[in-house]
Structure 1
Amino acid sequence: MKPRWLDAAAGLALGTGLLYACGHYYRQSLLGELGLSVEQFAKGGDALILFGFHAGVFGGIEYMFVGVVVMYVLLVAIGTWALIGAIPWFRVRLRAKRIQRLRHPARRRIRRRHIEAMPAFKTIDKFASAVPAVAFLFLAILLALICAESMGRKHGRDVIADFDGQARAILRLRNGARLHVGRVLVCDETTCAYLMRGGVLILRRDQIVSASIPRRP
């Protein structure tokens, strides 16, 4: 495989992992704000990736703003570096510095070459050149996770604040009872959680016989 295909594969794997992590933190904070837990309503990896995509694109202005700022800073840094290399004045200055370094005493150059040839120096030099990129990448990932968790909490608070106490559905249970419930908060293959005036009601799907929408006055 060519290096660019390896870079693309690494970027795809990193992006997928970031979406998965953002979806996990977004859903965990959302359910925690509603008094639920991730263990009660488990989701697969594909669903968590969709949650992460939702948090990143449709989650709110705050999350998108941070993503735009990070991308903008990265583009400005790349553009500045390219501009410096393209402007003749900067090119002349860089070439002058190189010539000045070449005019150092021969003994100093020999000693410097001896140090640069040491394996430990090469390792430290490679590590030092990679630290800024790794630090920037780590900071961007950390900001994305923090914003995803913040958006989950905000969404949970908005759901509770917007609830007007009106029933959204009437559920008929197997024991003959009829329940007026609010909006559906979350569902999985076996259980559903409904918002009620007194809190959150959790029902198993096999307890529900039918559901109907109440008539509005």
Structure 2
Amino acid sequence: MRGLPGGPAAYGGAAPGSAAYGGPRSRPGQGDGHRGLDPPRPPGAGRLRLVTALAALRDDVALDTVDVADHELPGGLDALDPVVALRPRLAAADAFVLIVPEYNRSVPGPLKTLIDSFQSEWDAKPVGFLGYGLSLTGGVRAVEHLRQVSAEFHAVGMKDAVLFPRVLEHYDAQGRFPAEPEGPEAAAKLMLDELLWWALALRDAKSVRPYGV
């Protein structure tokens, strides 16, 4: 997404099993004891709506939502791979939010493949996280792995994340998510506030001294 005048841009990358700034086809991984069977597939759009609804209330952010499930993933990491079409969108973003389920105690493969397909597009940009899973960990192991991956790409992971342990219990009888929005909305606002502070600070710094190591 593009930045607004005086405000940063934010982008999300998603996968079948993960999303960023909302991938509606996300799947929560079991996290504990999972051995490769497909996990249940509750609608992932709830996690998307939680973030995008809060972002829509702000005048300092514009969203570009990407679901990895909508993009053919590369078989290698060369310039001809199909995912390269996302390069201008990632490069234009000032910040990222990754929405990720914990799968086999880590990050789903498609999201990791997408991240690995790019390099400078992540440089010196902040990354926020929303994790979820079927176990009590609530996706925290996937989020912590993404923090390490983000650091390798010279991105800045946000301290505060949004987590949904036992994600199926966050739906009400009508299928609405989250059933009790006050806590998740407060956590998401905190994460977005941090993300936008870092987005502006890093964008201003790069305008004075371009990033490069």
TM-score w.r.t. the length of structure 1 is: 0.27
> Which structure has the larger Rg?
1
TM-score w.r.t. the length of structure 2 is: 0.27
Give the helix-richer structure, 1 or 2: 1
